[in-house]
Amino acid sequence: MSLFDYTIKELEEKIHNKEVTVQDLVDTSYKRIKEVDGQVHAFLTLNEESAREEAKKLDAAADQTASLFGMPAGIKDNIVTKALRTTCASQFLDNFDDPLYNATVVDKLASQQAVTIGKLNMDEFAMGSSNENSSYTPTRNPWNTDYVPGGSSGGSAASVAAGEVLFSLGSDTGGSIRQPAAFCGVVGLKPTYGRVSRFGLVAFASSLDQIGPITRNVEDNARVLEVIAGIDPMDSTSANVDVPKYTEALTGDVKGLKIAVPKEYLAEGVAPEVKESVLQALKVYESLGATWEEVSLPHSKYAVATYYLLSSSEASANLARFDGVRYGVRSENADNMIDMFKKSRSEGFGEEVKRRIMLGTFALSSGYYDAYYKKAQKVRTLIKNDFDKIFEDYDVVIGPTTPTPAFKVGEKIDDPLTMYANDILTIPVNLAGVPGISLPCGFSEEGLPFGLQIIGKHFDESTVYRAAHAYEQATDHHKKRPQLGGAN
């Protein structure tokens, strides 16, 4: 059994009782990485020397009461870490070895004395749903390495599922925390937009991006969000709202909870075994005293088209800064400045990133702006209004996280439209700005996990966690582990 089969709270007690040290936890993490990361490829950069030094300092510290004291964490590689290589899994930033500052979330983890183990693989610039768009190597699913782990936070989910770290941070623009959490059988939360600072997150689509935690259980997830949430003067989009003690919401009591189940989330395209796992989950809620009714999110069918227009437009603007001048890899084959811009970008960006930049540039161009970008913004409002209307009468919305379990590596990479459609159940949450969590709710015949998605009202992560925790405690899906490199 691994130390990481324990919760953060249980490991805190072990450290307090001198049963384990922070150095033991860090050793466990690096030992596990050496055992299995050759199969999983979750990490792009390790922070081993600094992490071991930090572990020694923490073991010698008089005060060991910080809420994440000594806990080994992985950071998605689009979250900036001072003096630790940050590439966004792109060749364009292959030489970005020494960022000058930390993202706010990294400083917040450090303030509670978590230990950064390393930087995690992802789809390049967070653009992808399978982690196959990493310009280094695809991450593999720990449950079966022939399958994808999901994306873009594939490394973040796989590292937790494989027992390499206790928790990780990912980013979610259209499902990039929840979808890989579902595929890898772990717990991933996309907080309300503005709940967590985006300062230091390399921007993909600024009105959609949100950082969130990935863990093995709901309680740990709530504990990490308590640390990273809150207003930040460095991020004008972070919200000035109180951060509750989320762990206090984990009572197990959901009597009277009113659940909405959108008929569109269980419609054609959702695999029968996924649909059945959600219906079984609803029976569990009934047994716990909650009630559910079928509802409609009528504009959700437009979500994928709306998302790809808006996110690609924002990406076109955000990625304009990567020009080979100020930082990043510069083309050595250019004859003049304009040529250098063009060649640096064409050589530095991968195919998927270039595809989305071109789509976004087209949508924003003169003569097409009103027809595409402006219209997409109007549809986004309709999608948000659908959620607002449902939340007048219900506490949470529940459905599957993804239409299917994980697919095989290489199966969809040459079919972008099919790949994009895989995010159909997660994208509306980002467009509306509401919180959503994915947690394990069953397994396919091939032994691949399914995810249950629970969506809440703006800034009501407490209810989302309460509903997720009650289901988790009533089932044992979260206790199962992939058999990767032996017991973990």
Active site residues: 76, 152, 176
> Looking at this protein, which amino acid is placed at residue 309?
L
What SS3 class is residue 252? Answer: coil
The CA distance from 291 to 259, in Å, is 6
The CA distance from 184 to 158, in Å, is 6
Q: For the chain, what is the largest distance between any 2 Cα atoms, rounded to a whole number of angstroms?
A: 71
Burial of residue 370, with CB atoms counted within 10 A of its CB: 0-12 exposed, 13-18 middle, 19 or more buried: exposed
Cα–chain-centroid distance for residue 341? Answer: 32
DSSP assignment, residue 229? B
3-state helix, strand, coil in the chain (%, to 5): 45, 15, 40
Which tokens in the block code for residue 52?
């071991």
User: Within 10 A of 49 (CB to CB), how many other CB atoms are there?
Assistant: 8
Please enumerate in sequence order all residues whose Cβ is within 8 A of that of 266, keeping only pairs 6 or more positions apart, or say none. 275, 278, 399, 400
Residue at token pair 């978590």: 114
The CA distance from 141 to 293, in Å, is 34
Please enumerate in sequence order all residues whose Cβ is within 8 A of that of 454, keeping only pairs 6 or more positions apart, or say none. 396, 397, 398, 436, 437, 439, 464, 467, 468
The CA distance from 214 to 150, in Å, is 13
326, HSE (Cβ side, Cα atoms, 13 Å): 6
Long-range (24+ apart) CB contacts under 8 A made by 47-51 are 47/81, 47/84, 47/116, 47/117, 47/118, 47/119, 48/117, 48/118, 50/84, 50/116, 51/26, 51/115, 51/116, 51/117, 51/118
The CA distance from 209 to 483, in Å, is 33
Measured CA angle at 466 (ends 461, 467), to 5 deg? 100
The CA distance from 118 to 478, in Å, is 25
